[in-house]
Amino acid sequence: MSNPETTDYEIGQDNIRPFGLDIHNPVFVVSALTIIVFVLLTLAFQEEATEFFGWLRPFLTSNFDWFFLLSANIFVLFGVLLVVTPLGSVRLGGPDAKPEYSYLGWFAMLFAAGMGIGLMFFGVSEPMSHFASSMGGTSLENGVRTDWAPLGAAAGDVEAARNLGMAATIFHWALHPWAIYAVVALALAFFAYNYNLPLTLRSAFYPIFGEAVWGWVGHVIDTLAVFATLFGLATSLGFGTEQALAGLNYLFGTPTGDGARVLLISVITIIALISVLRGLDGGVKVLSEINIALAALLMIFVIFVGPTAAIFETILGGGVAYVKEVVPLSNPFGREDANFSQGWTAFYWAWWISWSPFVGMFIARVSRGRTVREFVICVVFVPTVVSILWMGAFGGTAIDQVIANPEAAVQSASLELKLFEMLKDLPLAWLTSFLGIVLVIVFFVTSSDSGSLVIDTITAGGKTDAPVSQRVFWCTFEGLVAAALLLVGGAGALTALQAMAVSTGFPFTIVLLLMCVSLFIGLNRARRQGTQATAPTQAE
């Protein structure tokens, strides 16, 4: 057995310190140079880039949708395995470790880390899309055809269409994405707290590769994690930018073109930089607490001021339908619903996977002292319940408006405007719409700040106290990547962002599958020893 302190020293040997920086060579250099070249080439060859991104996403999702669906199913089943077997009794940090946060504080951070901007953007638009397709309607939204539903309701059966539409929505925001996050978060937490290894992706592969993780194998893993995190984050920031611009235009008539996109991203990136300079406690922590409170306030307002009975019927009916239909929705083979499996599910799974290092590292840092069973149950099921409540409240309200008036504005509005059109038919519409814009922007800021911290931790070899200037660098380039991809996308600005999320999510899916094997080996060893594990010198 090798001494963990020696391991820490060995990984530190790769660190170089030009200009006072703490750079993990070559992960920082390769990642940074690649991102710089990508931004420059994308802006220099916008027409070619637009054509390439327009080809890339449909190519990957149409040819590898089965791979994304199958992999996500494996992550869910792996989580169930950890809960029902003795492996679930292993405690993160060793048998005597105590949780650092209360359940309430822990749950709030889990939700804040996962899907803030996504829930704001898709909370109204996705339930409505699947409701329309379940009814046999035809629409084209953001380049995604919704004229065929995986779960078609009988003609005229509005209640069934609503429940099936919600089931399809919940499928994308419940067990599968949170199982993806749980795998990464648990692996990072276990090997950091039980093996005393650096908090970085390569550490999760120590049982398989042994000391080789400190060499080129680990460099490749961490570099892939940086790319996946950066482009997954850029996709979220792109959604947030489009929705915030649409909301500002809706309320104040502000422009929505390329200049406005760049200006908004610049302003929000500057705010994120201020948050970075203030540090975790004075920056992202304060903003996260504000955002959670505002989001809860908005959801409660919609539930009790909106069609309350219809909302609870939607939550209950959609939840029951999800439980009944989760297996056919998860089937990766022999599917005829290409629009759903490729246009929606494959993209979502790739996006969640590319987003997983960011969310996983955040969850890992706040989960010391939990047992594996407690961790998986809470990380997977508690956010699932919150997501169902959110989608039921916002989507259920919009669907009820369309049922009452098929010509309602929310029906024909663009994806980024649907939230504001839904709020328009409720009291205090101007105030709640403005609150929605604030939520999107603050989610943008906290995601950018937290994402820069995660990428900096990876590129600094797992160190959590690297110089602030490095986080400033990554925060700046997150904004640049999002701006570059939005600019080359033109009218379909989000297509380029989605293409890069899918392209980086594809190879990182392989990394996550291998991570499950490594985590199983490590947990099994820890359970047999009955104590805190130490890092082995080679795979066993």
According to DSSP, the residues that pair with 371 across neighbouring strands are: 91
Asked, for residue 486, whether it belongs to a domain, the answer is yes
Using one digit for the tens of pLDDT, what is the confidence trace for 188-198?
999 999 999 99
- Rounded to the nearest 5°, which phi and psi values hold at 202? -60, -30
- Does the pLDDT of residue 536 top 80, yes or no? no
- Does the pLDDT of residue 206 top 50, yes or no? yes
Closest listed residue to residue 340, CA positions, set 475, 148, 205: 148
Chain mean pLDDT for the chain: 83
Overall domain count for the chain: 1
The answer to whether 205 touches 408, Cβ cutoff 8 Å, is no
Asked, for residue 444, whether it belongs to a domain, the answer is yes
Cα–Cα separations (whole angstroms), residue 507 to 481, 502, 504: 20, 9, 6
- Cα-based torsion angle of the residue sequence 324, 110, 179, 438 in order, rounded to the nearest 10 degrees: 70
Asked, for residue 191, whether it belongs to a domain, the answer is yes
Asked, for residue 538, whether it belongs to a domain, the answer is no
Lowest pLDDT segment from 24-28, 190-194, 296-300: 24-28
CATH of the domain at 321: 1.20.1740
* Tokens representing residue 133 in the block: 């397709």
pLDDT at 140: 34
**pLDDT category of residue 54 using cuts at 50, 70 and 90:** confident
Using one digit for the tens of pLDDT, what is the confidence trace for 406-440?
888 998 898 889 999 999 999 999 999 999 999 98
Three-class HEC string of 308-359: HHHHHHHHHHHHHHHHHHHHHHHCCCCCCCHHHHHHHHHHHHHHHHHHHHHH
pLDDT at 139: 40
pLDDT at 110: 67
* Tokens representing residue 155 in the block: 């003609």
pLDDT at 148: 44
pLDDT at 32: 86
User: 355: buried, middle or exposed (CB in 10 Å: 19+, 13-18, 0-12)?
Assistant: buried
- Does the pLDDT of residue 233 top 60, yes or no? yes
DSSP 8-state secondary structure symbol assigned to residue 371: B
Share of residues in the chain with pLDDT > 90 (%): 40
Query: What's the angle, vertex CA 428, arms to CA 422 and CA 434, rounded to 5?
Result: 75
Using one digit for the tens of pLDDT, what is the confidence trace for 241-276?
889 999 999 999 998 888 898 898 888 888 888 877
Tell me how far apart the alpha carbons of residues 354 and 261 are, in angstroms, rounded to a whole number. 23
- Does the pLDDT of residue 91 top 50, yes or no? yes
Tell me how far apart the alpha carbons of residues 145 and 303 are, in angstroms, rounded to a whole number. 30
Asked, for residue 534, whether it belongs to a domain, the answer is no
Asked, for residue 235, whether it belongs to a domain, the answer is yes
Contacts of 232 by beta carbon, 8 Å cutoff, 6+ apart:
351, 353, 354, 355, 356, 358, 501, 504, 505
Tell me how far apart the alpha carbons of residues 341 and 336 are, in angstroms, rounded to a whole number. 9
Using one digit for the tens of pLDDT, what is the confidence trace for 433-487?
999 999 988 887 877 777 788 888 888 877 766 677 888 888 888 888 888 877 7
Using one digit for the tens of pLDDT, what is the confidence trace for 129-174?
888 876 544 343 443 334 445 666 666 678 888 998 999 999 999 9
Helix axes 175-193, 372-404, angle to 10 degrees: 160
Q: Which spans in 142-215 are helix H?
A: 158-173, 175-193, 206-209
SS3 141: strand
Tell me how far apart the alpha carbons of residues 2 and 111 are, in angstroms, rounded to a whole number. 37
Find the helix or strand (DSSP H, E) in which 145 lies.
strand 144-145
Q: Which residue has the tokens 């060893």?
A: 525
pLDDT at 113: 59
The parent domain of residue 404 ranges over 4-529
Asked, for residue 536, whether it belongs to a domain, the answer is no
Contacts of 167 by beta carbon, 8 Å cutoff, 6+ apart:
151, 318, 321, 322, 324, 325, 326, 329
Using one digit for the tens of pLDDT, what is the confidence trace for 516-532?
999 999 999 988 876 55
Full-model pTM:
0.87
- For residue 267, count other CB atoms closer than 10 A to its CB: 12
- Does the pLDDT of residue 7 top 50, yes or no? no
Asked, for residue 77, whether it belongs to a domain, the answer is yes
